[in-house]
């Protein structure tokens, strides 16, 4: 089965946040198609982390068959669902997961909020490493907890953890929980076993529990190896919540299905009771069949999509080096999100955004939403057709050149 990722796809009319909405002052707003400055379909959306590709054929088939039954009542996970998830974890992450360890939630962001809310108290601190996926911040602030960030360090063109700073921050008795992004969105690092072990050791020594957000862990670029937190020393398993889902891997975010793996029985039962207290139960029937099909039959598609994304990243890198040298791609080890250093352009965040959105008409994520360390950077979603990427880059080149010469 060879997939044609160049295939043109009509993204309109499905309530797609990526294609049909824009983040405005009051949150998400539908594009105003009558607004000549903002709302026409010429804007190329390369922001939120959804792929532009159609879902893998075995997933479409499974979901279609399920939909055709016409039965959309309450649904629950089954042994075959759990064995698909555990099979995936064993094959792809070398982690033997007991099906009993799995709790289902509508999404990883839901899991972050629930865990932060239940396992910390107002005023407690939660440790994150900025620049990082912004809902980490929301899950802390929305629950009136405090953020402690141990900023990642850009050493040459590679981000690294600052272990000295991390140890200092984790030693603060107010820090009760840490959220790890592995692989890291937006800087694209795939942490090594050594880095993860140092991180885990610091948290363990200081009694800090860890949420390991491994949502991007299937999207690993050639030559890199993902290491799951679950495969570290057993000592670390008693304090961890590992968040997984097929949503980024197979672009199934709308199916609202994630698997939170909690090996420690006491912790898991406590979380289960909290989910019950919040009335968070039940699962999306399409999420169940889509996930099962993805994990049982999606590997061939995944290998091809990774190759395609990798070739897009190479194209982006070559383009920037030869035509836009003031914009530098941070080498991406995992995820399909390119982190581009635009600081040499000398534009502040708003000006940079305005050039991209208003002049180039390309919708990218502004770096500063990931924390102040992201100022002057842009995040570019390259899970798109090559044609879209080429078009976006030539528009950006033109807009930047006009800005510089004008
Ligand atoms: C690191 C990370 N965690 C969580 C999410 C969102 O997960 P979900 O859609 O399962 O809530 C994203 C989405 O981009 C992400 O990048």
- Residue 159: φ, ψ to 5°: -85, 140
- Rounded CA-CA distance 118/102 in Å is 18
Q: How many CB atoms lie within 10 A of CB 329?
A: 21
The predicted pLDDT at position 24 comes to: 82
CA-CA distance, 240 to 306, in Å (whole number)?
A: 28
Count of other CB atoms within 10 angstroms of residue 316: 21
Tens of pLDDT along 291-332? 999 999 999 999 999 999 999 999 999 999 999 999 999 999
Identify the CA nearest to 12 among candidates 47, 37, 43, 35. 43
- Chain centroid to Cα 66, Å, comes to 28
Domain 17-56+299-405 belongs in CATH node 3.40.50.970: no
Q: Report the atom number in ligand 1 closest to the C-alpha of 111.
A: 11
Tell me, in angstroms, the distance from the centre of ligand 1 to residue 108's CA: 6
Measured in Å, residue 268 CA sits from the centre of ligand 1 at: 21
Residues having CB within 6 Å of any atom of ligand 1: 49, 107-109, 133, 181, 185, 213, 215, 245, 247, 253, 258
For 71-297, CATH number out of 3.40.250.10, 3.60.15.10, 3.40.640.10, 3.40.630.10 equals 3.40.640.10
Q: What is the pLDDT of residue 37?
A: 61
The answer, as to whether pTM is greater than 0.75, is: yes
For CATH 3.90.1150.10, the residue range(s) in the chain are 17-56+299-405
Which tens digits make up the pLDDT trace of 159-188?
A: 999 999 999 999 999 999 999 999 999 999
Burial 258-294 (b: 16+ CB within 10 A, else e): bbbbbbbeebbeebeeebeeeeeeebbbbbbbbbbbb
Q: What is the pLDDT of residue 310?
A: 98
């Amino acid at each position: 089965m060879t997939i044609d990722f160049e295939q043109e796809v009509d993204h309109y009319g499905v309530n797609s946040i990526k294609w049909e909405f824009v983040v405005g002052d009051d949150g998400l707003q539908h594009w105003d198609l009558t607004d000549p400055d903002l709302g026409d379909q010429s804007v190329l959306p390369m922001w939120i982390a959804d792929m532009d590709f159609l879902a893998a054929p075995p997933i479409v088939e499974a979901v279609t068959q399920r939909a055709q039954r016409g039965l959309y009542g309450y649904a629950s996970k089954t042994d075959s669902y759990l064995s698909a998830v555990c099979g995936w974890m064993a094959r792809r992450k070398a982690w033997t997961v007991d099906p009993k360890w799995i709790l289902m939630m509508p999404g990883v962001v839901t899991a972050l909020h629930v865990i932060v809310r239940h396992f910390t108290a107002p005023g407690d601190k939660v440790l994150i490493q900025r620049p990082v996926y912004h809902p980490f911040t929301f899950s802390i602030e929305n629950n009136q907890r405090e953020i402690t960030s141990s900023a990642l360090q850009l050493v040459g063109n590679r981000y690294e953890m600052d272990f000295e700073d991390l140890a200092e921050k984790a030693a603060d008795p107010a820090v009760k929980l840490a959220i790890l992004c592995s692989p890291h969105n937006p800087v694209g690092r795939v942490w090594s076993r050594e880095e993860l072990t140092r991180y885990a050791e610091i948290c363990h020594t200081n009694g800090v529990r860890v949420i390991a957000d491994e949502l991007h862990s299937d999207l690993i670029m050639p030559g890199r190896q993902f290491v799951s937190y679950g495969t570290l020393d057993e000592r670390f398993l008693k304090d961890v919540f590992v968040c997984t889902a097929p949503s980024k891997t197979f672009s199934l975010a709308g199916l609202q299905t994630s698997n939170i793996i909690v090996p420690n029985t006491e912790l898991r039962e406590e979380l289960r009771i909290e989910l019950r207290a919040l009335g968070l139960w039940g699962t999306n029937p399409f999420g169940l069949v889509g996930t099962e099909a993805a994990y049982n039959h999606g590997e061939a598609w995944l290998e091809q999509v990774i190759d395609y994304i990798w070739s897009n990243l190479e194209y982006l890198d070559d383009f920037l080096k030869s035509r836009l040298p003031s914009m530098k791609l941070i080498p991406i080890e995992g995820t399909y999100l390119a982190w581009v250093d635009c600081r040499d352009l000398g534009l502040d965040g708003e000006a940079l955004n305005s050039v991209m959105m208003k002049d180039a008409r390309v919708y990218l994520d502004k770096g500063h939403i990931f924390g102040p360390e992201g100022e002057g950077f842009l995040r570019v979603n390259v899970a798109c057709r090559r044609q879209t990427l080429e078009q976006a880059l030539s528009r950006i080149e033109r807009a930047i050149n006009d800005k510089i010469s004008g």
